[in-house]
Amino acid sequence: MTTIDIRSSTVLPAHREPVELRTSDGLTLVGELAMPESRRPVATLVTLHPLPTAGGFMDSHILRKAANRLPALADVAVLRFNTRGTKSPRGTSEGVFGEGVTERADVEAAMRFVTERQLPHPWLVGWSFGTELTLKYGLEHDIDGAILLSPPLHRTTADEIAAWQGSGVRLVALIPELDDYLRPPEAMERFASVPDIELVPVEGGKHLWVGELQTMRVLTEIVARVNPEALPLPSTFEQTAD
């Protein structure tokens, strides 16, 4: 056995599969499914990345680190993909950026993939622009819950937010204290129509969640909802020698 210190670049064992998602309007989106190496997942994270016109893609660091760590540490599956027109080392998804409108079909394609693969207990995890897609379209699908990371609420209407109240779907929002767009006091006002929401102010947090302390906070909050028995997340991993 070898003890690995978990750092920013650490990639823990998992079964990683390049995947393609086909949208209802005929586009092919590229992505990756990361699964626990030797067990069935207990839950599934369907991740929606930050704004592609501002550099967001499936490898945006929090989503990449979730895929690199959580299959091994928390027995969860992590689906990442590039929304239409978005490019990453995995490849470029067909189509063009749709301002959060045509991306409705991208979310649907991801959720259809989850159903076809019989992946259990799906949660949407949106970051920044990805939270807009989550709030707009998440309730159209069979999900256990949704986790919002740094929601800017630029494209989400008041009615779309209010629709989550009484939906029976858990809604959690991590609000950085020092966010560039939406800070905890304003978040309380903007989400007032959803009193059931779990608003989590993150002291010292910033929109991009830079640094290992913020990364661990985000991953811990995610795991606390989808598989709390896996907490606390360790800072080391015992690697079996080949």
| Domain residue spans of the chain | 15-227
pLDDT at 32: 98
pLDDT at 240: 79
Q: Which CATH superfamily is domain 15-227 in?
A: Alpha/Beta hydrolase fold, catalytic domain (3.40.50.1820)
Q: Which amino acid is at 61?
A: H
Show the DSSP H helices in the chain as ranges.
61-74, 104-116, 129-137, 158-162, 184-190, 212-226
The tens-digit pLDDT sequence of the chain (242 residues) is: 899 999 999 999 999 999 999 999 999 999 999 999 989 999 999 999 999 999 999 999 999 999 999 999 999 999 999 999 999 999 999 999 999 999 999 999 999 999 999 999 999 999 999 999 999 999 999 999 999 999 999 999 999 999 999 999 999 999 999 999 999 999 999 999 999 999 999 999 999 999 999 999 999 999 999 999 999 999 999 987 66
Q: Which residues contact 52 (CB under 8 A, 6 or more apart)?
A: 82, 83, 85, 86, 97, 129
Number of Cβ within a 10 Å radius of residue 10: 14
What 3-state class would DSSP assign to 5? Answer: strand
pLDDT at 190: 98
List beta partners, residue 79: 33, 46
Q: How far is CA 14 from CA 204, 205, 212, in A?
A: 32, 29, 21
pTM (2 d.p.): 0.97
Q: Give the burial class of 4: count Cβ atoms within 10 A of its Cβ; 0-12 exposed, 13-18 middle, 19 or more buried.
A: middle
pLDDT at 1: 82
